[in-house]
Structure 1
Amino acid sequence: MRKTCLNSVYELAKRDPRIVFVGSDLGAGTMSEMLEEFPDRCYMEGVSEQHIVGMAAGLAIEGYIPYVNTIATFMTRRCYEQVAIDLCLQNLPVRLIGSGGGVVYAPLGSTHLATEDMGIMRALPNMGVVAPADALQMAKLMPQTVEHKGPLYIRLGKGGDPVVTPDEAPLELGRALLLREPGEVLLLTTGVMAQYCLDAADTLGTAGVSCGVMHLHTVKPLDVAALARWVPGRRLVVTVEEHMLATGFGSAVIEALVDNGIDHGRILRRGIEDRFPTAYGSQDSLLAGFGLRGDAIAEAVSSALM
């Protein structure tokens, strides 16, 4: 997913002279082709995350569309004031690409785990938040980000995530994608958790529980029309996210349902509890510890239906 995203920035830059890339400590060779072809529109600024946000704001004021990439925790926590004041307050067209959203950087511990990034980004006025499911969605998404009004936070997975969205499925910013028709249960999710929700739906299906999956790659603004169409009438609606439960995707869904008067039954939220993850390991092992793999999601649904 990360490779697809950065390659897309390079391809967009070939077609649009407004596209600029700004990176922070990304490793040798990253964006080398763009740096060679467009040295005046590709910058590697080292470990200076707050600086690159301010730099991107200046470039945007001059008419450019900057794409800024660094690790998600540094992009959100360390730069929060710059993002709020330099980008959101002025509603500038800067695209923040956060690498390793969720618990991707599990081997590096809590300092590198972006488990509250979507929550703090969606709290900012004018900021859009997107979390594609896979590289295929990313490839469809990136051209649409060019003309997006205002700043945008793009949450990346680890790369190499399985492609779970259909090739023929359209993708539009702000529009949800129904991956499986709902029955008595509907799983709502975002980002790479789509794969685990599909696994859970398969497991539940073998147990006779009809379960649908809807992927909302755009967390802000949410597709309220899709929620209004598919949520009513379900026995159980479950939100699933690789994020803290507080302020995250599930919170956004509940806010949208309540604020828009959408009829809903019982809602179950699955995510990370209100604590810093302290374990080390792999992304998959941490997700298992949080009960966010397909089998655990299916078990939680079954228990809720009893």
Structure 2
Amino acid sequence: MTLINKTELMKRFYNYFSKEEKAVLLVGDMGFSALDDYFKNHPDRVFNTGITEQATISLAAGMSMTGLKPFIYSQAHFITMRCFEQLRYDLDEHNMPVKIIGVGANNYFEKLGRSHCVDEDDKLVVSVLKNFIIMEPTVYTVDKDIKKFISYNKPVYLRCI
């Protein structure tokens, strides 16, 4: 199974994001070429939170509590393993409908060194959380999976390369 790549995923997700005024995108200091239209056309709803994954999870939880629909776009290994406690306590324990897009699954960033490799550990970390659903869209399932990703009213972790 080949996961969908980040550029194609974000192209297809853009239509929903543009129409949903309560949607906000928190970006972990990456992926700008795949997100150019988001930053250009929605500067009031797209935020580069830098390399602060733990704070990004907590920020998204708070935004969700106010009625916003937060989506997080960050490297898979950092947004799962680096901030497991925030995933567990801020999102999972309170069933917060925050959606996370983990980029770089299956060691996509291996040329950047071992610290940027995730193997499939991100799935293992998230799988112990009782309310999360894990999604792995391919080129064949991406449209259907994006609809599920958006509509699921609980925390969701979506993996892509």
TM-score by length of 1: 0.48
Distance (Å, rounded) in 2 between the aligned partners of 1:137 and 1:40? 31
Q: CA deviation at 1:139?
A: 2.8
Structure 2: runs of 5 or more not aligned: none
The alpha-carbon distance between structure 1 residues 27 and 104, as it changes in their structure 2 partners (threshold 3 A), is: closer
CA distance in 2, matches of 1:65, 1:8: 18
The answer to whether the 8 Å contact 1:65/1:146 transfers is: no
Question: Would the aligned equivalents of 1:21 and 1:67 in 2 still touch at CA under 8 Å?
Answer: yes
Distance 1:82 1:62 in 2: 18
CA deviation vs aligned residue, 1:4-23 (integer Å, no higher than 9, x gap): 22223321122222221110
**Does the C-alpha gap of structure 1 residues 85 and 143 become closer, same or farther in structure 2, counting only changes over 3 Å?**
same
Q: Deviation per CA, 1:81-134, whole angstroms, max 9, x where unpaired?
A: 1111111111011111111112222212321111211011010110111112x2
Distance in 1 (CA, whole Å) between partners of 2:109 and 2:124 is: 19
Match of 1:123 among 108, 124, 128: 128
Corresponding residue number in structure 2 for 1:289:
none
Match among 4, 7, 11 for residue 8 of structure 2 = 4
What is the TM-score normalised by the length of structure 2?
A: 0.88
Structure 2 CA distance, aligned partners of 1:4 and 1:61?
Answer: 30
CA distance in 2, matches of 1:62, 1:72: 26
Evaluate the alpha carbon distance shift between residue 28 and residue 147 of structure 1 in structure 2; reply closer, same or farther with a 3 A threshold: closer
- Equivalent AA in structure 1 for residue 41 of structure 2: E
1:33 deviates by 1.7
Structure number with the higher helix fraction is 2
1:4–1:139: 8 Å Cα contact kept in structure 2? no
Residue identity in the other structure for 1:118: K
Considering only CA atoms, is the larger Rg found in Structure 1 or Structure 2? 1
* Kept in 2: contact 1:9–1:21 (CA 8 A): no
Alignment check: 8 A CA contact 2:7 2:34 kept: no
Q: Deviations over 1:36-69 (max 9, x none)?
A: 2222211111111111111111111111221101
Cα distance in structure 1, aligned partners of 2:12 and 2:97: 17
Shift of the alpha carbon at 1:71? 0.8
CA contact (8 A) 1:96 1:152 kept: yes
**Aligned counterpart for 1:151 among listed residues 149, 152, 155:** 155
- Separation in 2 of the partners of 1:32 and 1:74? 22
Q: Which amino acid aligns with 1:131?
A: E
8 Å contact from structure 1 (residues 91, 150) kept in 2: yes
Residue 140 (str. 1) matches residue 144 (str. 2):
yes
Q: Mapping of 1:173-192 within 5 angstroms?
A: none
Q: Letter of the aligned partner of 1:94 in structure 2? A: V
- Aligned position for 2:36: 32
Q: Secondary structure at the match of 1:101?
A: coil
**How does 1:219-258 map onto structure 2 within 5 Å?**
none
Describe how 1:65-80 pairs up with structure 2 within 5 A: 65-80=69-84
Residue number among 48, 68, 91 corresponding to 1:64 in the alignment: 68
Identify unmatched segments of 5+ residues in structure 1.
Answer: 158-306
The structure whose RCO (Cα within 8 Å, separation 6+) is larger is 2
Distance in 2 (CA, whole Å) between partners of 1:65 and 1:92 is 10
Return the letter of the residue paired with 2:130: P
Aligned CA RMSD, in angstroms, stands at: 1.6
Cα distance in 1 for residues equivalent to 2:25 and 2:50: 13
Structure 2 counterpart SS, 1:92: coil
Measured against aligned partners, the alpha-carbon deviations of 1:143-170 in whole angstroms (never above 9, x if no partner) come to: 221220210010112xxxxxxxxxxxxx
Give the aligned residue type for 2:39. L
